[in-house]
């Protein structure tokens, strides 16, 4: 083979070799691009699935969060099964009201009174006590009553055998009332000693001290409200008496009906003596008023319990307050223990803040 032929052969061989190499280099590049597109598509699909999965977890986690924090379920109940409080409303049954001591009144017209306040205590009328002795000296044969017993006027309470006649005679209660002292027993001698003491505490006096600055305002016949620890009663001043020697005040007395025994003898009392009155179209008891968020509110009775009502107030005295708006005549409102309704509503509101 000639040198020219070899040279041509070598050049052809190199060209073929270069072409093959070029093909080998180009083909992987194209394959790599297709594979890259495929990977990118797969990655986008995975991201889409991952997003849906995360959303599902979020939804599930949110439900779980609601359950853990006592949020309502699909039936509108919390984790304890109680209905949600409607805004400003307290659901309470009549039985729960009774157990809690919540009492109500009816809103109506009345008088706002200008008063002067006096202080004193309950005392026993002079004719309402009796110390019992034997009429004739002798041997006590029977004592029929004990301390704390209630007796009626004319009831036999003891028997004595007279020393002079040796005859038995009965001792009868001179007044109705309670036995508060017993100083003798059967078998003992009755002479001039007090055997029993009886008091009639069904009617008392509310006795007040009237000081010089009040004397011009206080007069016989004036109406007043007598108040104790947990009770009150309307009365009027029936007596104005001179104070004990050397004292600068007067004593004013107002009668108290104590048939039910609600006024302990000797207990401290206040008195609100009425000086003047002003009629108003609507008023409520001061015990009904509660303050919430800087507003005066009352709790009005509903079929389900009570609802909070903001009220605008007018004149006020020691017991009642005029209502200008927010309440209507005839509506029933909570008085005693109304603060329990306020506390329940505030607790409910705090429980819904996250």
Averaged pLDDT score across all residues of the chain: 81
Q: Label each residue of the chain as H, E or C.
A: CCHHHHHHHHHHHHHHHHHHHHHHHHHHHHHHHHHHHHHHHHHHHHHHHHHHHHHHHHHHHHHHHHHHCCCCCCCCECCCCCECCCCCEEECCHHHHHHHCCCEEECEEEEEEEEEEEEEEEECCHHHEEEECCCCCEEEEEECCCCCCEECCCCEEEEEEECCCCCEEEEECCCCEEEEEECCCCCCEECCCCCEEEECCCEEEEEEEECHHHHCCCCCCCEEEEECCCCEEEEECCEEEECCCCCCCEEEEEEEECCCCCCCCCCEEEEEEEEEEEEEEEEEEHHHCEEECCEEEEEEECCCEEEEEECEEEEECCCEEEEEECCCCCCEEECCCHHHHHHHHHHHHHHCCC
Q: Specify the pLDDT at position 351.
A: 56
pLDDT exceeds 50 at position 20 = no
pLDDT per position as a tens digit, 271-324 = 999 999 999 999 999 999 999 999 999 999 999 999 999 999 999 988 899 999
Share of the chain above pLDDT 90, in %: 67
117 with 42, same domain? no
Using the predicted structure, report yes or no on whether residue 125 has a pLDDT greater than 70.
Answer: yes
Which of 8-17, 186-195, 289-298, 316-325 is least confident?
8-17
Quick one: average pLDDT of 121-139?
96
Among 146, 173, 199, the domain-final residue is 199
**pLDDT tens digits, one per residue of 68-89:** 444 444 434 444 333 445 778 9
Number of independent structural domains in the chain: 3
Q: What's the confidence (pLDDT) of residue 284? A: 97
Instruction: Say if residue 106 is in the same domain as residue 254.
Output: yes
- Structural domain boundaries, residue 187: 127-199
Judged by average pLDDT, the poorest of 4-18, 129-143, 208-222, 255-269 is 4-18
Name the pLDDT band for 349 (thresholds 50, 70, 90).
Answer: low
| Same domain membership, residue 246 and residue 137 | no
Claim to verify: residue 225 and residue 288 sit in the same structural domain: yes
| Whether 328 and 296 share a structural domain | yes
Domain boundary among 155, 172, 199: 199
Among 84, 110, 143, the domain-final residue is 84
Q: Are residues 171 and 100 in the same domain?
A: no
Say if residue 145 is in the same domain as residue 275. no
Same domain, yes or no: 214 and 184: no
pLDDT band at 28 (very low <50, low <70, confident <90, very high): very low
Whether residues 17 and 106 share a domain: the answer is no
Q: Are residues 76 and 193 in the same domain?
A: no
Is the domain of 61 the same as that of 96?
A: no
Average pLDDT over residues 34-47: 44
| 348 vs 65 pLDDT, higher one | 348
283 and 135 share one domain = no
pLDDT tens per residue across span 91-115: 999 999 999 999 999 999 999 999 9
* Domain CATH number, residue 251: 2.40.30.170
């Amino acid at each position: 083979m000639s040198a020219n032929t070899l040279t041509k052969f070598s050049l052809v061989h190199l060209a073929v070799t270069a072409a093959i190499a070029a093909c080998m280099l180009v083909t992987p590049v194209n394959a790599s691009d297709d594979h890259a597109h495929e990977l990118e598509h797969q990655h986008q699909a995975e991201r889409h699935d991952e997003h849906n999965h995360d959303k599902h977890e979020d939804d599930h986690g949110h439900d779980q969060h609601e359950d853990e924090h006592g949020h309502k379920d699909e039936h509108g109940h919390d984790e304890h099964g109680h209905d949600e409080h409607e805004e400003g409303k307290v659901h309470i049954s009549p039985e729960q009201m009774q157990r809690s001591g919540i009492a109500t009144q009816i809103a109506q017209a009345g008088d706002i009174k200008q008063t002067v306040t006096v202080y004193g205590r309950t005392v026993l009328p002079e004719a309402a006590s009796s110390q019992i002795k034997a009429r004739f000296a002798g041997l006590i044969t029977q004592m029929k009553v004990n301390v704390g017993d209630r007796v009626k006027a004319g009831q036999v309470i003891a028997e004595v055998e007279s020393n002079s006649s040796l005859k038995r005679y009965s001792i009868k209660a001179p007044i109705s009332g309670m036995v508060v002292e017993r100083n003798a027993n059967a078998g003992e001698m009755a002479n001039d000693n007090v055997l029993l003491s009886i008091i009639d505490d069904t009617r008392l006096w509310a006795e007040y001290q009237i000081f010089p600055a009040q004397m011009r305002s206080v007069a016989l016949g004036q109406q007043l409200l007598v108040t104790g620890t947990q009770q009150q009663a309307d009365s009027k001043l029936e007596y104005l008496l001179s104070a004990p020697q050397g004292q600068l005040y007067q004593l004013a007395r107002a009668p108290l009906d104590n048939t039910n025994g609600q006024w302990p003898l000797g207990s401290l009392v206040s008195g609100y003596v009425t000086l003047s009155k002003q009629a108003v179209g609507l008023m409520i008891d001061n015990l009904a008023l509660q303050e919430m968020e800087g507003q005066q509110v009352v709790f009005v009775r509903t079929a389900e319990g009570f609802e909070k009502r903001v009220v605008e107030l007018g004149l006020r005295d020691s017991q009642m307050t005029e209502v200008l708006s927010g309440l209507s005549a005839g509506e029933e409102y909570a008085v005693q223990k109304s603060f329990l309704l306020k506390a329940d509503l505030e607790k409910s509101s705090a429980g819904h803040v996250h």
